[in-house]
Amino acid sequence: MAYWLAHKRNGQDYDYLQRFDPRFWTVDFPRPEMASLTSTAHDGLRIDCEFHHRDALAGLIWESEDRYDHPLLAYATDRDYTHTSLRFRWRSAGVMALDEVHGPTLTIEGRDASGTARTWYVRLWNYAEGAPDDAVIVLPFSQLREGWLADGDAVHPSDIDRMFVSLVPPGHDPDEHVLLPARADGWVELTGIACEGHRAMLKLGDVLVPPHDVGMATAYDDSYNLTPARLLRNVLGLGYRGAIVHYVGMSHFYRLAQHLGGELLVAEPAQLCGPCEAWHRAFLAECARLDYQPIVSLSYELFAEHCPPEWSQRAHDGSRALTGWDPPSSLLSPANDTAMAYLRAIAGAFTALVVAEGLPVHFQIGEPWWWLTFDGKICLYDDAVIAARGSAPEIPDMTAPLDAAQLDLLDWAGATLAASTAALRDHVRTAAGGEATVYLLVFTPTLLDPARPELRRASLPEGWAWPAYDRLQVEDYDWLTAGSEGARRAAYNTVQARLHYPLDVQDYLAGFVLNAADADTYWQRIDRGLDEAHARGVDRLFVWALPQVTRDGYTRLPSSEDHTMQAFDDVLYPLAPGPDLAVSPEFSTSVALTASGFERRNSHWSDARLRYDVGPGIRSEAELGVLLEFFRARRGAARGFRLADPFDFSSNSQTGTAAPGDQLLGLGDGETVSFQLRKSYGSGVDPQVRPITRPRLASITISIDYVQTSDWTYADGGWITLSEPPPEGAEVRAGFLFDVPVRFAEDRLDISASNFAAGEAPSVPLIEIREAT
């Protein structure tokens, strides 16, 4: 499948949007405060907030540069607001009013006329008409001044990076970081948003990639600051259709409450916070409008600072199970009844939102497992485990051989985990009124780490086997991006042997690119992983996740019946080319002559492209009839076919007897198992390498360090997959015979019967096809 990492629009479609379009604002805040933003109309938006501290603040933000949309869908950067004005109606409750000290202030970040970085603070009340909680505000950027009475410095409007409106709770004091007496809930609505003046419109990317075979995965923790409409506009524009895996996260969905000692922990009984509920109502409504099917995903994980300590899994030394995120999250113990009841209640709350929107309930139990610390110690020793078992033998090293008592503990842990996920599954089905599709997501690089073969007893229990869940979802991000093909393929076999889910009820999730610097390498592997899963027969594919897709410009292109690899008939040209066959290898090289007379040459192709003329090989009218029939069956130049090149068809020189040590395919790295057949021409450090996509299958032989092996399989496109990864540095070699993929060069054949009868050979030009590998 083709893909593209787009960095900017280059001739693609665009439209225009009004500056300050409600969909493209963002909101942000420091934890543990919570806020969300939704677009309520074409000219309206709403911010919902929950504040816990006296110095709490949330910001409603407009940025001059679009940092969140895919490059093909982003709005154009424009930092000039000269002679431009913004008008809206302001309504609010539960936040400081417009006329108060610390009331809503427009903070503008940019540069002054000299180019020096500068921030201005504009009091909104100075530009308002109406009441402190219900007013019409007009902001003419060329006339704005800061100061309590708009008597300060003028704003320089032509070089602004971003602006944000500050929202704070009643009684706000920026110098006092203490808890409020009680949680403060607030909201702000802007309606009638209009931009007028010289620079009121912005170009907006407006591509619509045709639908393809991959679904999207999103995460609320990564998208809480965006409007749902903006998020789904990207999903739609990039060709993703059908189901969307939506992870509700571990740090932004819950309501907090003050506990004894002044700690802020998740509220009990479990509740969604107001901003999360408002955002998800809008998200689900937009999913319904666009015909998307959300799969709500909930994991066994909470932000550690807000997770009751007794809920956490713990290692034998008492340390909490903490992830590597900064700050970390903590894994909930499946043995802790209170923690599991909390998860069930949260799952029920999200299920109720889905039902209220009239959507079918699809729910994913995401990555439930017993945590391993970073030094490999399993977290099986929290108080709930000890209370249930009475005692638990220490397992200091999961890579070492384990005794019967240790294995018994792992089996018990697996049964406990399976029972907890089953209870969560049943609760979702009950909350949905009996009709729900429940998914189970497993992460194979941890659960099936070859160095820890007994871990699967605890974290991939047989109690999950088909048909315990409606669908199984598998992800292997770490192995996929590292190129660990052998481990990935072995894990698929283990999952299948252990859980028995048919391929038509399996999904594959491919990802993930944490750092933009890895984009070029990782997205190629991710895209190939999606294709490989499709070839294995996996029913549905998803890419994780939208924030990285938009950041890196990943663009999955749809398959087509007209694609080169599909417009190919795997048949051999039916006539022997004969000794008069004409062959013309060609390259593409640009040659520039400098003023001093020297040449600068740039080679555009890494491999030669061949041209043939098979006309001289036609010897009779019968063969001419065969050619015409074959030409019509290929629909002229539309469809490719094989050609046996009599001058170059072997891995051994051009025409020699093929042997398993002929051509070097690559060196083992202990992980890679797939190697492309190829043939090298020339010697030295930079030979010309030709991918072989149409080998003669019966002729292929493979060797590792010159020892022939039969432990391999063949995949379309000339790919050899070994059953085990070769050792690091081992030479993977192959011998083979091959044909050349070609097509007719033109859509017509000019053949004259009289010329042919006179002995004049017709011209039948063919051209080599470059096939994707």
Residue 75 sits in a domain whose CATH number is 2.60.120
The verdict on 543 and 584 lying in the same domain is: no
Q: Is residue 562 part of a domain?
A: no
Residue 596 has pLDDT above 70, yes or no: no
Report the 10 Å Cβ neighbour count for 677. 25
Q: At which residue do the structure tokens 């429940």 appear?
A: 438
pLDDT, one tens digit per residue, over 137-149 is 999 999 999 999 9
> What is the per-residue pLDDT for 604?
56
Closest to 403 in 3D by CA, of 439, 359, 454, 360: 454
Average pLDDT over residues 236-256: 97
Q: Is residue 566 part of a domain?
A: no
Closest to 310 in 3D by CA, of 282, 287, 340: 340
> What is the per-residue pLDDT for 615?
86
The verdict on 42 and 102 lying in the same domain is: yes
Alpha-carbon torsion 560, 564, 565, 570, what sign? Answer: positive
Residue 1 has pLDDT above 70, yes or no: no
> What is the per-residue pLDDT for 608?
75
The 8-class DSSP code of residue 695 comes to B
Mean pLDDT of the chain: 93
List residues bridging with 167 in a β-sheet. Answer: 58
Q: Is residue 550 part of a domain?
A: yes
The verdict on 327 and 410 lying in the same domain is: yes
Alpha-carbon torsion 309, 310, 311, 317, what sign? Answer: positive
Radius of gyration, CA atoms only, the chain: 32
The verdict on 446 and 359 lying in the same domain is: yes
Contact between 296 and 350 under an 8 Å Cβ cutoff? The reply is yes
Tell me how many degrees the CA angle 584-589-595 measures, rounded to the nearest 5: 140
Count the alpha carbons within 13 Å of 685 in the hemisphere toward its beta carbon. 0
> What is the per-residue pLDDT for 626?
92
Q: Is 570 helix (H, G, I), strand (E, B) or coil?
A: strand
Q: At which residue do the structure tokens 């969905």 appear?
A: 253
CATH number at residue 279: 3.20.20.80
Residue 577 CA to residue 615 CA, distance in Å, equals 8
How many domains would you assign to the chain?
3
The model's pTM is 0.86
End-to-end CA distance of the chain: 10
> What is the per-residue pLDDT for 759?
55
Residue 450 CA to residue 455 CA, distance in Å, equals 9
Q: Is residue 561 part of a domain?
A: no
pLDDT, one tens digit per residue, over 714-771 is 988 999 999 889 999 999 999 999 999 999 999 988 877 666 665 566 889 999 998 8
Closest to 170 in 3D by CA, of 96, 105, 100: 96
> What is the per-residue pLDDT for 563?
42
Average pLDDT over residues 485-493: 91
The verdict on 157 and 253 lying in the same domain is: no
Query: Pick the residue with more confidence: 579 or 349?
Result: 349
Question: Omega into 545 within 30° of 0, i.e. cis?
Answer: yes
pLDDT, one tens digit per residue, over 31-82 is 999 999 999 999 999 999 999 999 999 999 999 999 999 999 999 999 999 9
Average pLDDT over residues 126-147: 98
pLDDT, one tens digit per residue, over 620-652 is 888 888 999 999 999 999 999 999 999 999 999
Lowest mean pLDDT among 19-23, 351-355, 390-394: 390-394
- What are the distances in angstroms from CA 762 to CA 77, 496, 740? 59, 57, 22
Q: Is residue 565 part of a domain?
A: no
The verdict on 167 and 241 lying in the same domain is: no
Task: DSSP for 426-448, please give it.
Answer: HHHHHHTTT--EEEEEEEHHHHT
Residue 601 has pLDDT above 90, yes or no: no
Closest to 364 in 3D by CA, of 351, 380, 381: 351
> What is the per-residue pLDDT for 754?
63
Q: Is residue 773 part of a domain?
A: no
Report the 10 Å Cβ neighbour count for 759. 6
The verdict on 241 and 346 lying in the same domain is: yes
| Domain termination residue (choose one: 148, 180, 205) | 205
Residue at 651: amino acid letter: S
Residue 607 has pLDDT above 70, yes or no: no
| Domain termination residue (choose one: 515, 532, 556) | 556
Q: Where residue 685 falls among pLDDT bands split at 50, 70, 90?
A: confident
The verdict on 362 and 248 lying in the same domain is: yes
Q: Where residue 664 falls among pLDDT bands split at 50, 70, 90?
A: very high
Contact between 110 and 77 under an 8 Å Cβ cutoff? The reply is no
Average pLDDT over residues 87-111: 98
The verdict on 325 and 466 lying in the same domain is: yes
Element (DSSP H or E) covering residue 690: strand 688-691
Lowest mean pLDDT among 204-218, 561-575, 592-606, 677-691: 592-606
Average pLDDT over residues 585-604: 70
> What is the per-residue pLDDT for 613?
92
Average pLDDT over residues 574-578: 85
The verdict on 422 and 491 lying in the same domain is: yes
Q: Is residue 81 part of a domain?
A: yes
Q: In terms of C-beta distances under 8 Å and separation of at least 24 residues, what long-range contacts does 199-202 make, across chains too?
A: 199/19, 199/78, 199/80, 199/81, 199/82, 199/83, 199/84, 200/18, 200/19, 200/84, 201/16, 201/17, 201/18, 201/19, 202/16, 202/17, 202/18, 202/19, 202/75, 202/76, 202/78
Q: Where residue 565 falls among pLDDT bands split at 50, 70, 90?
A: very low
> What is the per-residue pLDDT for 686?
76
Average pLDDT over residues 133-159: 97
- Phi/psi of residue 450, nearest 5 degrees: -60, -25
Residue 189 CA to residue 498 CA, distance in Å, equals 53
The verdict on 460 and 590 lying in the same domain is: no
Query: Pick the residue with more confidence: 426 or 598?
Result: 426
The token pair at 141 is: 């950027």
The verdict on 503 and 647 lying in the same domain is: no
Domain that holds residue 359: 214-556
Give the orientation angle of helix 274-289 with respect to helix 337-356, to 10 degrees. Answer: 40
> What is the per-residue pLDDT for 564?
40
Residue 606 has pLDDT above 60, yes or no: no
Question: Omega into 32 within 30° of 0, i.e. cis?
Answer: yes
Alpha-carbon torsion 625, 630, 633, 639, what sign? Answer: negative
> What is the per-residue pLDDT for 624?
87
Residues in the chain: 773
Closest to 743 in 3D by CA, of 704, 717, 770: 770
Residue 253 has pLDDT above 80, yes or no: yes
| Domain termination residue (choose one: 556, 585, 601) | 556
